């Protein structure tokens, strides 16, 4: 199960990185609105990557029963 969780995390990180690279190579946004959209896109990608890491940690670290 840990291997599967790790593979899922790795795939998600690679997908996020690929999308970030695409946004970077797209060039600088020209208008303030375009810059705001780009910033929101990067924020969403970072949140997506962080969520994948949390999911990996959740599966990797057994919880203690109270």
10, 54 Cβ separation under 8 angstroms: no
Helix axes 2-25, 32-60, angle to 10 degrees: 170
Look at residue 22 and give its three-state secondary structure.
Answer: helix
Identify the pLDDT of residue 1: 52
Question: Is it the case that residue 19 has pLDDT exceeding 80?
Answer: yes
Split at pLDDT 50, 70, 90, the class of 12 is very high
Question: Is it the case that residue 52 has pLDDT exceeding 60?
Answer: yes
Identify the pLDDT of residue 59: 85
Question: Is it the case that residue 64 has pLDDT exceeding 80?
Answer: no
Mean local confidence (pLDDT), 8-33? 96
Q: Please state the domain extents for the chain.
A: 2-60
Question: Is it the case that residue 50 has pLDDT exceeding 70?
Answer: yes
């Amino acid at each position: 199960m840990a291997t599967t969780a790790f593979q899922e995390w790795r795939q998600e990180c690679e997908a996020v990185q690929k999308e970030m690279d695409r946004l970077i190579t797209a060039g600088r946004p020209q208008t303030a609105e375009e810059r705001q959209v780009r910033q929101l896109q990067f924020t969403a990608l970072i949140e997506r990557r962080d969520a994948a890491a949390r999911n990996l940690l959740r599966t990797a670290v057994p919880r203690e029963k109270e």
